[in-house]
A = this chain, B = another copy of it.
Amino acid sequence: MKMNQPVTRIRVRFDETDQQGVVHHGNYIRYFEVARIEFFRSIGFSYKAFEAEGFRMVVAEIQVKYQRPAYFDDILDLFVDIEKMGSASLTFKFQIKRDQEPIALGQAKLACLGSTNRPIRFPAIFREALKAAACQKGD
């Protein structure tokens, strides 16, 4: 898979700014989450249904590199890609751009929990959706 097109775009909300006049740095974590959910949807996997069935993905590690400030009302393109797929963890890469300008880079390592709160392998249905998506894109 390649980050050649945004998985979604968002418009910066007023309440996401802080008194420095820019998007507060904590909000990028939320944008990454939006990107992840939309990425799942794009490969035919509903994260909402996944949780409804008693599973959960939880973030084990996250990282953000801030490249340029973003401002109220900006339209931001959210790019997402799989960095690494283990049996019990999944690492995402994120990129946020405004037009072609780089705004932020990120990385998040997720684990999968079953209904008893124990780490489990990512479900087969999910791994297959990922694989199918990778093939389609020629990876």
Q: Is the CB of B48 within 8 A of A33?
A: no
Q: Is the CB of A18 within 8 A of B20?
A: no
Pick the contact of A61: B15, B60, B66 (CB < 8 A): B66
Q: Is the CB of A26 within 8 A of B20?
A: no
Q: Which of A51-59, A84-92, A95-103, A123-131 contacts B (4 or more CB under 8 A)?
A: A51-59
Interface residue ranges, A against B (CB under 8 Å): 13-15, 17-22, 24-27, 29-30, 33-34, 37, 46-48, 51, 56, 58-66, 69, 72-73
Which residue from chain B places its CB closest to the CB of A74 in the assembled complex? B48
Which residue from chain B places its CB closest to the CB of A67 in the assembled complex? B60
Q: Is the CB of B61 within 8 A of A62?
A: no
* Copies of the protein in its oligomer: 4
Given contacts A21-B19, A33-B26, contact A60 B65 (CB under 8 A): yes
Q: Is the CB of B48 within 8 A of A73?
A: yes
Q: Is the CB of A15 within 8 A of B26?
A: yes
**Residues from chain B with Cβ under 8 Å of A33 in the complex:** 13-15, 26
Q: Is the CB of B48 within 8 A of A30?
A: no
- C-alpha gap A37/B17 in the complex (Å): 14
Pick the contact of A19: B27, B34, B51, B63 (CB < 8 A): B51
Pick the contact of A14: B13, B18, B61, B63 (CB < 8 A): B18
